[in-house]
Amino acid sequence: MIPTRRDLHFKLGPDSVDNWHARGNYLTHFINAMSISFPDGERFFIHTVRHYRDRITDPTLQKAVAAFIGQEAMHGREHEDYNRLLAEVGLPAAELAEHFRRFMGLLEQRLSPSAQLSVTIAQEHLTAIIAELVLTDPRLIAGADRQLSALWRWHALEEVEHKSVAFDVYETVVGRGLKAYLLRTSSMLLTTAGFFGLVLFYQRKLLDADLQPRSWKELSRFADFMLRAPALLPRLALPWVSYFRPGFHPWDHDNRHLLGQLDQLVSETRNYELKAA
């Protein structure tokens, strides 16, 4: 499958990102914390794939890589706008984004190109399985206004659409043998711990800066969301474990039927852009 680069602009306002989740600020800032990591995360993904671009000879994969780079660049741009709004409402988004930028810079300095690519494919799998839940369970972004919902759904749909591109580059340039398997699976363990660790750290920093009152009841609602209903973490477990199968490929789980939502979402978003102009 060759992804398509879509240049969409989402008209978010400060109210879009401030205390928006229906289940309260713990969920609001858990998801906002993910947005903080995206711009530099996307740049890292682009860098790791682009490094091997000259070694790809398959014309279909070359086209898919070009589209992957285009999509990730658009995602990064829109989440930079999102993060600027977080700063506008008094949250430390810029400081946290700088922290994440330094973290990703350390990875670029200390990891080999193949190890960097293994981090990318691990994170792409994590993102793709979270994206499927966003697209199939409205509770994940409940309370989002029209434009914020559209942004998260667009990002999720394109993550599904290009979910195998970096993986296919990895298999082309690193291989499918034992060494390649051990690198990609060990990277998944470290990437999972690092991603959720940083998101929870950023969530705490956002909550500390937020003037909204917090309570044990709200914390309980967050734990319930993560563990019982909709049970985000348990529902991620099985597709996460599938990554460790030696013959794994992202399209083993064929969910491309979800991409049928793209045309309508793009049309609605562009119509909204025209009305807002």
Each residue of 108-124: pLDDT tens digit? 999 999 999 999 999 99
Q: What residue type is 7 in one-letter code?
A: D
Q: Where are the domains of the chain?
A: 14-276
- Quick one: which of 120, 170, 117, 168 has its CA closest to 1? 168
- Quick one: which of 108, 124, 130, 135 has its CA closest to 51? 108
- Quick one: which of 119, 144, 32, 113 has its CA closest to 79? 32
Q: Provide the pLDDT for residue 213.
A: 83
Each residue of 1-34: pLDDT tens digit? 899 999 999 999 999 999 999 999 999 999 999 9
Task: State the DSSP string of 180-240.
Answer: HHHHHHHHHHHHHHHHHHHHHHHHHHHHHH--S---HHHHHHHHHHHHTSS-HHHHHHHHH
Rounded average pLDDT over 208-212: 91
Q: Could you give the CA distance from residue 239 to residue 9 in angstroms, rounded to a whole number?
A: 31
Each residue of 124-175: pLDDT tens digit? 999 999 999 999 999 999 999 999 999 999 999 999 999 999 999 999 999 9
